[in-house]
Structure 1
Amino acid sequence: MKPNYKILIIDDNTIDQIVTKQLLKKALGITEISTVNNGKQGIQWLNNHKRNFEESLIILLDIKMPEMDGFEFLSEFEMLPEELKKETQIFMLSSTLDPYDITRAKSNKYVKSILSKPFPVKEFSEIIYPDSSSKIA
């Protein structure tokens, strides 16, 4: 049986939010998906919902955003309670080609993987459901 995931998309691009949300719903059957527009709203969302985590949380985090970008979010995330962080996986989702950003993302202990936009649903599925027999074509 596949694990149940709750998803938080942190991205300032509304079209990317909609596309990613639809891919998660249609391809993976994930229905608990929340969206916020920047890292600051992401931290607020986590603080408001941390008592409601019965399943694992996956954060899809954009790098370039106004107000608080992905790396600033990661700095704030580090200060959150350990019980919240241990049930959370973070995937950075970005169209950046900047080698410095990519290296920074890969070297962050909270970032499981960096994925390129548009959202690579097949690659994502293979990471979160490695033993699943229902691979996406």
Structure 2
Amino acid sequence: MRPNYKILIIDDNTIDQIVTKQLLKKTLDITDVSTANNGKEGIQWLIDHGKSFEESLIILLDIKMPEMDGFEFLLEYETLPEELKKETQIFMLSSTLDPNDITQAKNNKYVKTLLSKPLPIKEFGEMIYPDSSPK
């Protein structure tokens, strides 16, 4: 049986949020998707929702955002209680070509991998459902 996931998209681009939500829903049948417009809202979402949900959490995190970018989010995320970070996977999702961003993402202990926008849904599905292929 495939695990249930709750997804939190942290991205300041509304179009990217909509496209990612549709890809998740239509291809992987994931409908429990929330959004935050920057890292600050993402941290607040985690604090507000804590572990009030049963499923594992996947965060799709953009790098370049106003107010609090993806790397600033990761610094703040590190200070959160372990209870909030338990069973959470973070995938950075960005269109960056900056080698410093790529290296920083790959070297962060909380980041599972860096994916290019738009979300490569087949590759993502294989990562989160390694024992089954997407529908």
TM-score of the aligned structures, taking structure 1 as reference length: 0.96
Moved over 4 A (4+): none
Question: Which residue of structure 2 lines up, in the alignment, with residue 119 of structure 1?
Answer: 119
Question: Which residue of structure 1 lines up, in the alignment, with residue 76 of structure 2?
Answer: 76
Question: In 1, are the aligned partners of 2:24 and 2:30 still within 8 Å (CA)?
Answer: yes
Deviation string 1:95-126 (CA, Å, 9 cap, x unpaired) is: 00001000000000000010000111001001
Q: Secondary structure at the match of 1:83?
A: helix
Question: Which residue of structure 1 lines up, in the alignment, with residue 15 of structure 2?
Answer: 15
- Structure 2 residue 51 is the aligned partner of structure 1 residue 60: no
Q: How well do the aligned residues superpose, as a CA RMSD in angstroms?
A: 0.9
The alpha carbon displacement at 1:54 in A equals 1.1
The alpha carbon displacement at 1:51 in A equals 3.3
CA distance in 2, matches of 1:82, 1:99: 30
CA distance in 1, matches of 2:118, 2:87: 26
Question: In 1, are the aligned partners of 2:47 and 2:84 still within 8 Å (CA)?
Answer: no
- Sequence identity, in percent? 81
CA distance in 2, matches of 1:33, 1:49: 13
Instruction: State the aligned residue count.
Output: 135
| Structure 2 counterparts to residues 1-137 of structure 1, below 5 A | 1-132=1-132, 134-135=133-134
CA distance in 2, matches of 1:40, 1:84: 15
Structure 1 residues without counterparts, runs of 5 or longer: none
